[in-house]
Amino acid sequence: MPDTATLPAAASLKAEHFDVLIVGAGISGVGGAYHLTKQLPGTSFVVLETQESFGGTWLTHRYPGIRSDSDLYTFGYRFKPWTSAPIATAAEILAYMGEVIDENDLGRHIRYGHRISSARWSSEENRWTIDATRTDTGQAVRFTASFLWMCQGYYRHSEGYTPEWAGMEDFKGRIIHPQSWPEDLDYAGKKVVVIGSGATAATLVPAIADKCDHVTLLQRSPTYFIPARNANDLADTLRQLQIDESWIHEIVRRKILHDQAVFTRRAFEEPDIVTKELLGGVRAHLGPDYDVAAHFTPSYRPWRQRIAYVPDGDLFKSIRAGHASVVTDEIETFTEAGIRLKSGKELEADIVVTATGFHLNVLGDIDFTIDGRPLDFADTVTYRGMMFTGVPNMVWVFGYFRASWTLRADLVADFVCRLLGHMKDKQAKKVTVALRPEDKDMPLLPWIDPANFNPGYLMRGMHLLPKRGDKPEWQHTQDYWNEKDQWPAIDLDDRTFVYG
């Protein structure tokens, strides 16, 4: 049970104390709660979540058609079998997470409607003080925790990113960001322009195209897509053989991960052949007369940005049926009636949807201080993309972009539980990562190599993110296949870890 303490700094606020405080009840935070209860039973912990329920991404995004763009055998937790089609709707993912919470009695640890605004580390007390506001009553609440597990994702949930374009204020129709989709939005019979070329645009267009007068997907540059049947043959065969679901989950995960490793290697070693295959898949859906070169041929190598699945080719079906079309051009200005493009072409619109991405949110928009000094994460160096030099007792979950996010959330959870167990054995109250003497002259580089992976939200926010070094310990590698083998073998008594 948590103990209660009164902090001298603000005598009026009582603080509840927990061994671990998890920020966020998305797929990472709920997974963290599960692993803590299984791997370190008896640890007191709380999960604080701004929203009114669990799910994170899958609760926030409510636009028509919202679904995963990677398969749920690997996006699902390793401990909870996924038993349906690989690409899942948000509702299915929420139901799955709800089962994890119910089956493991995690609900009693989660406090919804708690927005954390600040976290202060005190070396004197060896603990964090976390201030939050209750979103229902506006009441200020305070917690203390020995360890912070940051599962707040990577983007701001309150609003999406919409660039400023000339003439937006003249437009007579509605401009909507998919992250704040109005429940009552009536798009039946309307002309809709969806700006963007990523997974959100590709999901939204087929989901609304049948009802609209017409949907135009307006993109500055094309993206790679993999059209594929929303089924997994191996899983279906194993089910016919009445294999246990937990076995199916593990076997299908291994098969998918194996295939992805092969695909990733080929994308680097023979990008031209892989590009040809990807474009061939699109061409097979759109027919020989469609201008695939103009609208579906990106200028970058495959895999530099996440490649989204188009389940059952639904986007391409809408295009073939004439309900949707793609325009590859740039916006000159909004007009009263729609959008004028740089080519001089005009797109009429009643509704413009800006599927233009996210605001990067570094550590939950929380003000951090360490012993009274404001913490700027850009001044720190990351330890394997999860800890930061000079920041004690804190781990951040930043998942994979190329593989499913949750694969890394599970690995980080194993690491946190092992680290907490190790601290207990050593009777240490504090752990910080620090550069070793041999790391002192190491070149410090941006968080992620833009030549390797460069989505807009990361490029816009790179200056806010920690630095990386040029050795594996100080890198955020995005390499599941290495990390799954290396992390369990991390020597927690290596000089990188400084205990106190």
Judged by the rule CB under 6 A, the positions of this chain that interact with ligand FAD are 23-29, 48-51, 56-57, 61, 68-70, 75, 114-116, 151-153, 157, 200, 364-366, 397, 399, 404-405
Instruction: State both tokens at 184.
Output: 């009552």
- Closest among 472, 441, 206 to 317, alpha carbons compared: 206
- For residue 204, the minimal CB distance to ligand FAD (Å) is 10
Q: Which is nearer to ligand FAD, 410 or 439 (CB)?
A: 410
Rounded to the nearest whole angstrom, what is the least distance from the CB of residue 200 to ligand FAD in the complex? 6
Q: Closest approach of Cβ 33 to ligand FAD, in Å?
A: 11
In whole angstroms, how close is the CB of 364 to ligand FAD at the nearest point?
3
Q: Outline where DSSP puts E strands in 280-366.
A: 308-311, 324-328, 331-334, 338-341, 346-348, 351-354
Burial string for 416-434 (b: 16+ CB within 10 Å, else e) reads: bbbbbeebeeeebebbbbe
3-state DSSP: the chain helix, strand, coil percent, rounded to 5?
A: 35, 25, 40
Least distance CB 19 / ligand FAD (angstroms): 19
Contact (CB, 8 A) for 469 and 475: yes
The C-alpha angle 423, 428, 431, rounded to 5 degrees, equals 75
What token pair was written down for 119?
């976290």
CB of 461 to ligand FAD, least distance (A): 15
Can you tell me the distance from the alpha carbon of 419 to that of 1, in angstroms, rounded to the nearest whole number?
21
The CA-CA-CA angle for residues 453, 464, 162, to 5°, reads: 70
- For the CB of residue 151, give the shortest distance to ligand FAD in the complex, in Å: 5
CB of 137 to ligand FAD, least distance (A): 16
Instruction: In whole angstroms, give the CA distance from residue 2 to residue 17.
Output: 5
SS3 of residue 295 by DSSP:
helix
Pick 204 or 370: Cβ nearer ligand FAD: 204
Q: Where are the alpha helices (DSSP H) in 270-358?
A: 271-286, 292-295, 314-320
Q: How far is CA 275 from CA 248, 271, 284, 303, in A?
A: 31, 6, 14, 10
CB of residue 289 to ligand FAD, shortest distance in Å: 32
| Cβ at position 432, least distance to ligand FAD in Å | 22
- The DSSP call for residue 248 is H
DSSP lists the bridge partners of residue 326 as 217
Question: What is d(CA 26, CA 486) in angstroms, rounded to the nearest whole number?
Answer: 26
